[in-house]
Structure 1
């Protein structure tokens, strides 16, 4: 019998500590609802479940990304729906203007609406945005992250849906100064009326009346037009030469006003003004749309040449760009086909967006299903079985109480030594 070392008490105390640890561990799991609260609970299970958690959260975010992508697509597609409506109206006007029951004045009014509609197409293209990103000006080239891992994305680009790219913007027109010389009364040889300018087979420019007759010809690149049946001339030298597509108005007093046009290589329908100080072409909002490097003759934007005038613009010169030309029977007839092509272009882009939206909807469904299945798998690894753990906690609690009772009895055993000392 010994009293310095109470081996039964030490053994019981050790068991009591283990049972208390087991009880505390069970209580921690029951209170948190998780089987793994720290790496020591299950090192391998912790590593696996953390990877699963990363996948689950990535899949959930990818699903939200897909929903945001659908919102962007619907915004763009809704704007193009209005563009379609505008194009259908422009086609209706072209069909109306192609009928020769209309006078020149009637077609002029029809042209005004076409000009305004073309300008609105461009305004829609310039102003349609989602989260400050422009959708229809041709700059959109995005990737939607629709997976939890690198490279799991979907690309989407939208073509330029503005008037110029759809072929709905006309030539650039500018007022041209003129003088009458070399022949007295203009109306003697070049009578009152409206004329257009066209290039002839010799490479010169003809001034043509409403009957299609040539009344004057220019042999110096549109600077001076000489009457075919007399010596009257209309002189544009020192100003903007009047070439193909230009128009000339002669009133009953022989006074001449003219508008010259040049091929438009990038300007949307609208009004522009030349700022000679900065050598820039600005729109009606004061925004710079093109810059000249040669004193006002050739203008470029960020994508290349926009327009080249026959002669340099002067400070304050205004440039007008209308819609597709329906001012004559022939031009209106041709415009019908051109508008059809624009309608098909917009239709193709809307179809592409619709297909992408349907794809994203299926993607979202798949992401949600994958996330659900992964959460179930992660739950089996990480979450605690409450019923089973309650049994373990009860067992550990009973054992801890029993150990505590046995420790009390073990502590009483050395007292029997006192009987030997009596």
Structure 2
């Protein structure tokens, strides 16, 4: 009999520790619900599981990205819905103005509404935003990341849907002040104060008074000479404009002559603009009604935007002065001919907006299918990750129960093994 080494107790103690450790691990798994709580539980399984988790979270975020993309598209498409409505009204007005039951005064009133509608197209295009990003001014080119991995994305650009790009913004015009030089002797051919309409006939421009009489004529729209009663040229008076005046109205109050000078609009939306200088006359800026700079010029004649595109160039070598106002109206429907032509232009604008809305709608439908696919992929990948990472509760409860019983049995046997050396005391009796 040996008392220095109780082999039975050592063996039982080892078994007790093993059962206790196994029971502790089972309790940890049962309390966390995970089969792998640390790398030591399953090193390879942990690596595979973490990779799957990255994919799952990426797929879920991609689904949210896709939904955000749909929201952006819906914002743009919703604004274009109103753009469509505005263009339909403009077309209706153009058809109305094409009918010669309307007088010139009637057409002026119709033109006023078209001008305002064109301004609203520009306002919608300039102010429609999603998360501070402008959508309809032609600047939006976005990429939606719709996958869990690199380069799994979708690109979308939205064309410029403002009035100028749609072809329904008119010419740029400004008031030009002219000088009038009367003849050496006052005659009946002198220009009388009043308001005159500028009309063109076979390349010659006439000032027509309220009675329909031609009172002055010009070959270039710059210099107008008064006419005699019989319509022939007179030397009694000359009007000299700084810029071409070939349309609109001319007023003369007995001292000042004012006319409307029109220039080709190269990119301005309908609205009001003001020319400002730096005081030295060396730099000119063009600002809209909101005070935003939309163009600049070095000579006060040719104005360009930030991209270097020419917005307009004044006729004749004469710079615009500080405070000069530039007006841009809507598409011209002021005559039967121009209104008739405007119908086709507005039809083309409607088709352009329809095409853009169709494109946005197709992208939205695509993203909805993308979301469905991402959801399915995430679900299936989650199921696979669960089989690796999650614990089978029923099976682990069985193991925990087994280890608990073994632990209790080992404790009982350890008590018995510790009693065995006491048998030596019987030899001392």
Fold-level match, TM-score > 0.5?
A: yes
1:344 aligns with 2:351: yes
Contiguous gaps of at least 5 residues in structure 2:
none
Contact 2:76–2:135 (8 Å) recurs in 1? yes
Distance in structure 2 (CA, Å) of the matches to 1:419 and 1:254: 145
2:369 is aligned to 362
String of CA shifts for 1:290-349, please: whole Å, max 9, x gaps.
11122x111111122111112210111111100001111111111000000100010000
Distance in structure 1 (CA, Å) of the matches to 2:48 and 2:192: 96
Distance in structure 1 (CA, Å) of the matches to 2:269 and 2:170: 8
* SS of residue paired to 1:73: helix
2:244 is aligned to 242
2:10 is aligned to 10
1:58 shift after superposition: 0.8
1:182 shift after superposition: 5.8
1:309 is aligned to 314
1:259 aligns with 2:260: yes
1:177 aligns with 2:201: no
String of CA shifts for 1:56-107, please: whole Å, max 9, x gaps.
1111111111111111111110000000000000000001111111111111
Distance in structure 2 (CA, Å) of the matches to 1:212 and 1:248: 14
Distance in structure 1 (CA, Å) of the matches to 2:121 and 2:247: 25
1:191 shift after superposition: 11
Distance in structure 1 (CA, Å) of the matches to 2:251 and 2:333: 22
Distance in structure 2 (CA, Å) of the matches to 1:131 and 1:182: 62
1:270 aligns with 2:274: no
1:163-242 equivalences in 2 (<5 Å): 163-181=163-181, 183=183, 184-186=187-189, 193-196=196-199, 200=203, 206-207=205-206, 216-219=217-220, 222-226=221-225, 229-232=232-235, 234-237=238-241, 239=242, 241-242=243-244
* SS of residue paired to 1:285: coil
* SS of residue paired to 1:312: coil
Q: Which range moved further: 250-259 or 146-155?
A: 250-259
* SS of residue paired to 1:178: strand
* SS of residue paired to 2:87: helix
1:225 shift after superposition: 2.6
Contiguous gaps of at least 5 residues in structure 1:
none
- Identify if the C-alpha distance between structure 1 residues 115 and 276 changes in structure 2 by more than 3 Å, giving closer, same or farther: same
1:105-120 equivalences in 2 (<5 Å): 105-120=105-120
1:286 is aligned to 291
Contact 1:187–1:254 (8 Å) recurs in 2? no
* SS of residue paired to 1:290: strand
String of CA shifts for 1:362-402, please: whole Å, max 9, x gaps.
00000011111111111111111111000000000000111
- Identify if the C-alpha distance between structure 1 residues 178 and 346 changes in structure 2 by more than 3 Å, giving closer, same or farther: same
1:90 is aligned to 90
2:381 is aligned to 374
Contact 1:189–1:229 (8 Å) recurs in 2? no
1:405 aligns with 2:412: yes
Distance in structure 2 (CA, Å) of the matches to 1:402 and 1:186: 132
Q: Which range moved further: 174-183 or 332-341?
A: 174-183
1:61 is aligned to 61
Distance in structure 2 (CA, Å) of the matches to 1:146 and 1:44: 29
Distance in structure 2 (CA, Å) of the matches to 1:40 and 1:255: 96
- Identify if the C-alpha distance between structure 1 residues 170 and 186 changes in structure 2 by more than 3 Å, giving closer, same or farther: farther
* SS of residue paired to 2:70: helix
Distance in structure 1 (CA, Å) of the matches to 2:200 and 2:338: 14
Distance in structure 1 (CA, Å) of the matches to 2:180 and 2:43: 98
* SS of residue paired to 1:164: helix
1:299 is aligned to 303
Distance in structure 2 (CA, Å) of the matches to 1:259 and 1:250: 10
1:103-182 equivalences in 2 (<5 Å): 103-181=103-181
Distance in structure 1 (CA, Å) of the matches to 2:294 and 2:213: 37
2:427 is aligned to 420
